């Protein structure tokens, strides 16, 4: 995407261009007025001189005019030494006629059927005129430069409150309530209107988010009751003597499914709470002791598969977090690894700085596939990865955790859940 010019540069360029055009128009108008005035002066001077010469020649038949190279008289029809540039001139005033290496203004008149030309040398005058024009051009250029500098820094000073407001807007955090846009110093009345409109929107958005969270909280609690009833009923039915093996498998499947639904409901409850409120229920959790319990809870999922869950090494680590949330998040990652593997060993370890690592022997993903997965998760989820992984990503954004997925050579996938933001030991 092409780089856009900022407002200060746009206004500066526009104003300088306007100044250049205005100066050019005034300069051209001045030249035209000057040329018109010059023509009137030359015509008045030459007509007066021509009238005087003709009257003197009429009263004195022996009168002879001698050319001095400054004001010369020529008889165009009979004189032999008439310059070529004068012979074809019609009656009237002719400016900037060049002959004899000089510039002349020539007045051609008719006297008793004879064309007479009176020429005034203005070569020195034209040079002096140019000497007067050069300072005007230089002053105009300096004025344009000064105008551009003053305009640029002036506009930057004027738009600084707008930049400050844009910086404040960019610093807004989507999941934080009570945020408002402060009015920068030296802000204009227009910025005050914009800030008021944005703050009104933020206030309405806070109320909307609070309603959504309240709805999800209520819905999740309401879902827990029927799910618990289903699982309890399945457990009771599974204990009935003489139950056929096929019915036992189906009941066991119902129990596993209801457990997964309860975990998802728990995650929804976490996401429905404000992070500040959620941290009020934090507790000290020995993660190196909790991980083996989570693994044991998920060993039954390996039944019927040539899979082995290998735990370790587990470095001592204590967190400040909700234990139920940790169980759900890590359990979902482990279950995802089991579901995407057929045979081999799944390694679950706890590295330094509270990083949980799960390595599975599944089909694995290329770097490009992982990048595409991140994109889909950032856009709200991925059906192929399941809702659990999408909720864990959302949970990480909510609590400051980080989820990293990468290939594990020669095959398989390595998932790392970084919990260092809540680590205390």
Identify the pLDDT of residue 335.
84
Helix extents (H) in 60-115: 84-87
Among the listed residues 78, 93, 84, 85, the one whose alpha carbon sits nearest the alpha carbon of residue 36: 93
| DSSP state, residue 380 | T
Q: Over 60: is that where the pLDDT of 381 sits?
A: no
Distance, CA of 116 to CA of 120 (rounded, Å): 13
Backbone φ, ψ for residue 61 (5° rounding): -65, -20
Among 287, 288, 297, 292, smallest CA distance to 323 is for: 287
Which range (48-57, 196-205, 209-218, 412-421) has the least confidence? Answer: 209-218
**The CATH number of 282-422 is which of 3.30.460.80, 3.30.565.10, 3.40.50.740, 1.25.40.10?**
3.30.565.10
Asked if the model's pLDDT at residue 281 lies above 70, the reply is: no
Count of alpha carbons within 13 angstroms of residue 400, beta-carbon side: 13
Confidence of residue 384 (pLDDT cuts 50, 70, 90): very low
Classify the phi-psi angles of 412: left when phi > 0, otherwise alpha if psi is within -120 to 50, otherwise beta: left
How much is the CA Rg of the chain, to the nearest whole Å?
Answer: 47
Segment among 22-26, 27-31, 111-115, 407-411 with least mean pLDDT: 407-411
Q: Which residues of the chain form CATH 1.10.287?
A: 173-178+187-276
> CATH 3.30.565.10 residue ranges in the chain?
282-422
Band of pLDDT at residue 253, cut at 50, 70 and 90: confident
Structure tokens given for 186: 């030296």
Tell me phi and psi for residue 125, to 5 degrees: -65, -40
Q: How confident is the model at residue 119 (pLDDT cuts 50, 70, 90)?
A: confident
As a whole number of angstroms, the distance between CA 166 and CA 324 comes to 40
Distance from C-alpha of 402 to C-alpha of 355, rounded to nearest angstrom: 9
Model pLDDT, residue 417 = 86
User: From CA 202, how far away is CA 181, in angstroms rounded?
Assistant: 9
- Give dist(CA 248, CA 260) in Å, integer: 19
Does residue 65 sit in helix, strand or coil?
Answer: coil
Widest pairwise Cα distance in the chain: 159
pLDDT, tens digit, 9 for 90 and up, residues 309-367: 888 788 888 888 777 778 878 888 888 788 878 788 888 888 877 888 888 887 766 66
Question: Does the pLDDT value for residue 387 go beyond 70?
Answer: no
Query: 360 or 375: whose pLDDT is higher?
Result: 360
For the segment 290-301, the average pLDDT, to the nearest whole number, is: 84
H-state helical runs in 5-66: 7-59
Residue with tokens 């001095």: 68
Q: Are 89 and 108 in contact (CB under 8 A)?
A: yes
Judge: domain 173-178+187-276, CATH 1.10.4160: no
Tens-place pLDDT, residues 206-227: 888 778 777 777 776 677 778 8
How far apart CA 391 and CA 181 sit, in angstroms, is 30
pLDDT bracket for residue 7 (50, 70, 90): confident
- At residue 309, the pLDDT reads 86
Place of tokens 């020195």: 124
């Amino acid at each position: 995407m092409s780089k856009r010019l900022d407002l200060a540069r746009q206004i500066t360029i526009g104003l300088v261009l306007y100044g250049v055009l205005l100066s050019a128009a005034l300069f051209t108008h001045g030249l035209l007025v000057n040329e018109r005035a010059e023509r009137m002066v030359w015509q008045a001077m030459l007509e007066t001189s021509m009238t005087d010469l003709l009257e003197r020649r009429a009263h004195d038949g022996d009168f002879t005019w001698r050319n001095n190279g400054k004001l010369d008289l020529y008889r165009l029809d009979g004189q032999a030494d008439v310059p070529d540039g004068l012979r074809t001139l019609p009656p009237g005033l002719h400016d900037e006629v060049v002959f004899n290496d000089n510039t002349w203004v020539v007045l051609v008149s008719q006297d008793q059927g004879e064309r007479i030309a009176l020429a005034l040398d203005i070569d020195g005058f034209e040079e002096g005129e140019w000497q007067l024009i050069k300072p005007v051009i230089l002053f105009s250029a300096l004025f344009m430069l000064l105008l551009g500098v003053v305009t640029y820094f002036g506009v930057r000073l004027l738009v600084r409150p707008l930049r400050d407001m844009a910086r404040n807007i960019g610093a807004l955090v989507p999941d934080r309530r009570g945020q408002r846009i402060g009015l920068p110093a030296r802000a204009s009345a227009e910025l005050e209107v914009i800030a008021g409109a944005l703050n009104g929107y933020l206030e309405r958005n806070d109320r909307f988010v609070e309603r959504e969270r309240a709805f999800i909280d209520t819905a999740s609690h309401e879902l827990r009751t029927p799910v618990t009833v289903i699982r309890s009923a399945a457990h009771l039915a599974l204990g009935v003597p003489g139950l056929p093996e096929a019915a036992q498998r189906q009941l066991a499947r119902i129990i596993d499914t209801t457990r997964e639904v309860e975990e998802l409901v728990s995650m929804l409850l976490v996401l429905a709470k404000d992070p500040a409120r959620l941290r009020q229920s934090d507790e000290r959790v020995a993660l190196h002791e909790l991980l083996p319990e989570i693994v044991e809870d998920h060993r039954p999922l390996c039944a019927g598969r040539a899979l082995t869950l290998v735990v370790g090494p587990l470095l001592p680590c204590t967190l400040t977090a909700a234990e139920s949330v940790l169980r759900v998040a890590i359990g979902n990652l482990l279950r995802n690894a089991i579901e995407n593997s057929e045979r081999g060993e799944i390694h679950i370890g706890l590295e330094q700085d509270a990083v949980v690592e799960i390595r599975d022997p599944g089909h694995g993903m290329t770097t490009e596939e992982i990048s595409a997965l991140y994109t889909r998760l950032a856009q709200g989820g991925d059906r192929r990865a399941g809702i659990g992984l999408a909720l864990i990503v959302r949970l990480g954004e909510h609590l400051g955790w980080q989820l990293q997925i990468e290939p594990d050579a020669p095959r398989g996938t390595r998932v790392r859940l970084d919990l260092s933001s809540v680590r205390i030991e």
